[in-house]
Structure 1
Amino acid sequence: MIELGKNQDPAASKSTQKRSKTELEKPAEFVEALAKGLAIIESFDVASPEMTLSEISRKVGLSPAAARRSLITLKTLGYVGQTNKRFHLRPKIMTLGSAFYYSARIDEVLQPFLRDLVAKFGDASSVGTLDGKDVIYIAHSSVQRARRAAAVVGARYPAYATSLGRVLLAGLPDAELGAYFDDLVIEPLTSKTITDPITLRAEIDAVRATHYSTTVDQLDYGITALAVPIRAVDGRTIAALNTSGYSGIIDADYLISERLPQMRAVASCIAQTLTRYPALASVIGQ
């Protein structure tokens, strides 16, 4: 089973809850009850590993009665447990993440590339895609054991604070990038996080020109990262590949000079490999 990324920074949860107008449009067949249940599952994170009914209803924006019905359903299905008046996720929830991981053949297609990069450079390497205003990690390999923001499979963080996210944002059409900034709320995750939208937009424009992004202590202290785009046959950026290490041991200039050529080569190989797996390419490219 694959670990779901429920250990993200609380600020990432705030970012997740702030959806664009386009994302809030609902088709006629939209099932509210299912959406409420999924929202409750997503409400659990490192800051809220267990909650009372009132805390859940307040966090998700549901009435206590509606939240209770969803919790009873999730509890009956084995996804949620309860101790006294507090609810928590149960291990069965991990099967939801592993279902995607294995059905999309991520372990077979993407992980070998990441393991090779980690074997060559050490540190860590990930592949991520854009999900709303966040980047979500769909593959990861690491030799690191630090107590800091984790890039486990399923983890999601604000796109503006990660090298992966900035590469993905740079790959958006102008209209979509403009919509991203329209209702963006930037939380300072560290003292170095870029919080000025104009400065952030300039950074993304620079990524468009160079086709890579570097970040230093933007998401969490101690993380220096370099990311490059993974492109579909038609040139669209459908995912991003990164390599990261400890700030203070490596810097952005080192990553550019020592790892950028290899990262671009691997991203190209991943893109070519995805042509043999159209289902996976379609999933991550949506």
Structure 2
Amino acid sequence: MVDTDKKPAEFVEALAKGIAILEAFDAANPEMTLSEVARRVGLTPAAARRSLMTLETLGYIGRRDKRFHLRPKLIALGSGFYFTARIDEVLEGDLRALVDRFGDASSVSTLDGEHVIYVAHVSIQRARRAAAVPGARYPAYATSMGRILLAGQTDEKIDAYLKSYEPKKLTSKTCTNAKALRAEIMVARRDGYATTVDQLDYGITALAVPIRDADGTTVAALNTSGYTGMVTPDQLVKERLPALQEAASHIAHQLTRYPTLRSVLGG
């Protein structure tokens, strides 16, 4: 839920509760009972029930026996963002060009609180790994894009992030030490790129660069990734960094023509 201190006078609590319920469903929780929803969102069963009944009536949530699940109508909300922000015109062309040239996968994401949220993704990979579909959210500390996005923040915001968020081991190689993470973020700021190996999931080696607006503010990140064991961070930097930086520059230039996308990327 939203921090109470940051709520404007016009804040609609009931709407916030409904959105929190929608966000509570994920790959680990595709179906939940009323009590499970209430516990996961931090609501009373009565409050959760009212929101669930409203969302079910609107067609965003379905029910099988006593277990609730999301319904396809939610896709329409995401497609509205996709088309108004012109994702296909501004981002996907550069991603496809990178994948056509290097194979593997390429994505654009932006910072969403303590996570990165994927805005666009193109891939030729078929292996079962952490999903990188648009809308997927992952801890910023465990991704190359998250680290380069954090590198674009002020020192104060980086310190606040590391102080407030408790990293978890997602693999045996995931870095969870605040001091070490800060050092990695500072290296990314210095170098202008970030690399990770098996931080989010086994088998993912990635390289990310910032996408900056005309003022030099980092508004998004662009990455390229491959299979650990088939590609190393040094190889990604040597073989793909110039092309990745060129694509990021092209996307940044495109943002001046699409103010809606610039606005949503910049928060």
| TM-score, normalised via structure 1 length | 0.91
Find the aligned partners of 2:162 and 2:238 in 1 and give their Cα distance.
31
Q: Give the unaligned 5+ runs of structure 2.
A: none
In the alignment, is residue 274 of structure 1 matched against residue 255 of structure 2?
yes
- Paired residue for 1:138, among 115, 119, 128? 119
Q: Report the equivalent of 2:22.
A: 41
In the alignment, is residue 200 of structure 1 matched against residue 181 of structure 2?
yes
In the alignment, is residue 246 of structure 1 matched against residue 227 of structure 2?
yes
Find the aligned partners of 1:33 and 1:183 in 2 and give their Cα distance.
27
Q: Report the equivalent of 2:162.
A: 181
- The 10-residue stretch of structure 1 (174-183 or 135-144) with the greater mean CA deviation from structure 2: 174-183
In the alignment, is residue 214 of structure 1 matched against residue 199 of structure 2?
no
Count residues with an aligned counterpart.
Answer: 267
Q: Report the equivalent of 2:49.
A: 68
Q: Report the equivalent of 2:140.
A: 159
SS of residue in 2 equivalent to 1:91: coil
- Is contact 2:84–2:260 with CA below 8 Å preserved after alignment? no
Question: Where does structure 1 differ by over 3 angstroms across 4 or more consecutive aligned residues?
Answer: none
- Paired residue for 2:205, among 224, 246, 252? 224
SS of residue in 1 equivalent to 2:169: coil
Find the aligned partners of 2:89 and 2:5 in 1 and give their Cα distance.
34
CA deviation map 1:111-162 (0-9, x unaligned): 1110111000000000000000000000000001111101000000000000
- Paired residue for 2:80, among 92, 99, 106? 99
Q: Report the equivalent of 2:215.
A: 234
- Paired residue for 2:241, among 260, 263, 266? 260
Q: Which has the bigger relative contact order, CA under 8 A and spacing at least 6?
A: 1
SS of residue in 1 equivalent to 2:32: strand
Q: Which amino acid aligns with 1:83?
A: R
Deviation at 1:24, TM superposition (A): 5.9
Find the aligned partners of 2:44 and 2:238 in 1 and give their Cα distance.
54
Q: Which amino acid aligns with 1:142?
A: S
Deviation at 1:35, TM superposition (A): 0.4
Deviation at 1:182, TM superposition (A): 2.1
- Is contact 2:60–2:71 with CA below 8 Å preserved after alignment? yes
CA deviation map 1:177-204 (0-9, x unaligned): 1221221110100000001000000000
Q: Note closer, same or farther for the CA distance 1:31–1:208 as it changes in structure 2 (3 Å cut).
A: same
Find the aligned partners of 1:148 and 1:142 in 2 and give their Cα distance.
12
In the alignment, is residue 190 of structure 1 matched against residue 171 of structure 2?
yes
User: Alpha carbon RMSD of aligned pairs, Å?
Assistant: 1.2
Q: Note closer, same or farther for the CA distance 1:71–1:115 as it changes in structure 2 (3 Å cut).
A: same
SS of residue in 2 equivalent to 1:172: coil
SS of residue in 2 equivalent to 1:141: strand
CA deviation map 1:218-237 (0-9, x unaligned): 00000000000000111000
Deviation at 1:276, TM superposition (A): 1.0
Find the aligned partners of 2:49 and 2:192 in 1 and give their Cα distance.
48
Q: Give the unaligned 5+ runs of structure 1.
A: 1-16
Q: Report the equivalent of 1:14.
A: none
Q: Which amino acid aligns with 2:194?
A: S
Find the aligned partners of 1:150 and 1:97 in 2 and give their Cα distance.
17
- Paired residue for 2:32, among 37, 43, 51? 51
Find the aligned partners of 1:195 and 1:24 in 2 and give their Cα distance.
29
| TM-score, normalised via structure 2 length | 0.98
Q: Which amino acid aligns with 2:139?
A: P
